[in-house]
Amino acid sequence: MKARKGFTLVEILIVVVILGILAAIVIPQFSQASTEAKLNSCRSSLQSLRSQIELYKIQHNDNPPSLENFAAQMTGKTNPDGTTAGGTLGPYMQRVPKNPWNNSNTLEADDGPGVGWVYDEDTGAIYVGVADAPAAVAAELRSNGDALAAEPAKP
């Protein structure tokens, strides 16, 4: 009788099933790690924005940067009145960071698709734009004040 070489079909199928089960366990953990990394990046960017806005306010008589000129006022030199012509204060950051959920660095007064950051120019408060973020992430950011609370549904 000849010696058998190789594996039978049943043995190969068992190995494939085991590998499939292992992949089903491991892949969601990598997905969660990616979400956590984006969340940490988002919070770090938000904290940097908040601290630089506070520094701007200190140097500009408690006046926050305007929504319209936010990028120019934060990335360039400004005068104490906030104008950018021949300024001596700043810059406060190299560029406005991107929101990791939609890769947008735009600022708007209200949250919506494509909005990177929600900014209140009256107070200088800034929040993460979560319209493009997964629902669980948006809920977590809202729960600790990093994003504006969702507006109630209109009847």
Owner of token pair 């906030």: 82
pLDDT of amino acid 34: 85
Structural domain count of the chain: 1
pLDDT of amino acid 154: 42
- Does residue 9 sit within a domain? no
pLDDT of amino acid 25: 86
Q: Could you give the residue ranges of the DSSP H alpha helices within the chain?
A: 9-59, 70-75, 135-143
- Does residue 52 sit within a domain? yes
Structure tokens at 13: 């199928």
pLDDT of amino acid 64: 97
Report the CATH number at residue 131. 3.30.700
pLDDT-flagged residues of the chain (< 50): 152-155
Query: What domain range is 38 assigned to?
Result: 16-143
Kindly report the pTM of this predicted structure.
Answer: 0.80
pLDDT of amino acid 1: 61
